[in-house]
Amino acid sequence: MTGYVHLENGECFEGILEATNDTNAITGEVVFFTGMTGYQEVLTDPSYKNQIVIFTYPLIGNYGINEYDFESSKPHVAGVIMYESFETVYHYEAKHSLKAYLNKWEIPYITHVDTRSVVKQIRDSGTMKCSMSYKQECSYFGDIRYDAPVEAVSTKKIESFGSGHHEIVVIDFGVKKSIVNSLVDYDCKVTVVPYNTSYETVKKLNPCGIVLSNGPGDPKQLKRLLPDLKKMMESFPTLAICLGHQLVGLAFGGDTTKLRFGHRGANQPVLDILTSKVFITSQNHSYVVNRDSLDQDKLTVRFTNVNDGSVEGLMHKELPILSVQYHPEAHPGPSDSSWIFHEFMSSIRSVRSEKMYA
């Protein structure tokens, strides 16, 4: 049936809507993803909780849905906007079409929308609320729940993966499966714990390092956790990714701000200030650490975004803490930054050596 995309700024776009709920509008924060591939990973990335995602590439779903590229057990997006998506799929690993997968999980989607025009509205007006419905006239944008997205996606119990020689604790703010898999590949035993796990509980697990994961929402919603997170970072070598990176900035006295329309895609260029090398990264975030708010005696900017100069990563001047705004596991996206895991593991081995010879 004919459906409509209503933006908070008053713009309306027509398309073909498929939704199980034909009485109320589907609402969420509208964002766009620029990658040509990777829709399966995007749909199941917990960082997209409560968001309606526009795929800017004109044909989505041509290689279907397989059994391997899920980042979590279910999709987290509120809705999907595409220009075109076919039922027929062209990949030997495909088990379902994209439409069949969205229908299975009752995720509403709308096709034949002028996605370029919608994205231009977001670029001009910034990220905003969005409504998808069968009604041409719509002023309802719903009670979009922004207050506790991390609580909704974080694990509720402590789980372990792998059997390697390095004990790593991942604080789960919405961790992607591929981050855990990357650590397992580095000979780690990975213990994933709920987002609000205390310092004392983590200490009893006796890890050789911790990872603060990616996740959805505004990092300032987690301010109550900062004292415990800071204790963890001061006690164990730390790698922080995306939301975790923002929490590092906050924990050491910095501030975060919201970008106009965020970075989402697999083509974001990042400069490593230490080496003067530029590499291409996969990203998905709305918030960034404010460079001017940082205590230069504690944290130093390690990475910056080539396009807009925003902070893409931090290093502590004394402690083995490394944070990155991008996704080194690169699912989806280029693997240019996968060496970040190697640097993290090197910091763990260095700390172990210092303790051995202290």
Catalytic residues: 242, 327, 329
Q: Strand 51-55 to strand 26-33: parallel, antiparallel, or no bridges (unpaired)?
A: parallel
**CB burial of residue 107 (10 Å; 0-12, 13-18, 19+):** buried
Q: What does the alpha-carbon distance between residue 352 and residue 6 come to, in Å, rounded to a whole number? A: 55
Which residues partner with 2 through β-bridges? Answer: 16
Other Cβ atoms less than 10 A from the Cβ of 308: the count is 11
Q: What does the alpha-carbon distance between residue 205 and residue 208 come to, in Å, rounded to a whole number? A: 9
Which residues partner with 210 through β-bridges? Answer: 169, 238
Closest by CA to 69, choosing from 88, 105, 93, 86, is: 93
DSSP-derived 3-state class of residue 305: strand
Q: Tell me if 288 sits within 8 A of 257, measured CB to CB.
A: yes
Q: What does the alpha-carbon distance between residue 243 and residue 284 come to, in Å, rounded to a whole number? A: 10
Q: Tell me if 314 sits within 8 A of 302, measured CB to CB.
A: yes
Please give the backbone phi and psi of residue 190, each rounded to the nearest 5 degrees, phi first: -105, 120
Please give the backbone phi and psi of residue 168, each rounded to the nearest 5 degrees, phi first: -120, 135
DSSP-derived 3-state class of residue 219: helix
Q: Tell me if 99 sits within 8 A of 87, measured CB to CB.
A: yes
Q: Tell me if 305 sits within 8 A of 293, measured CB to CB.
A: no
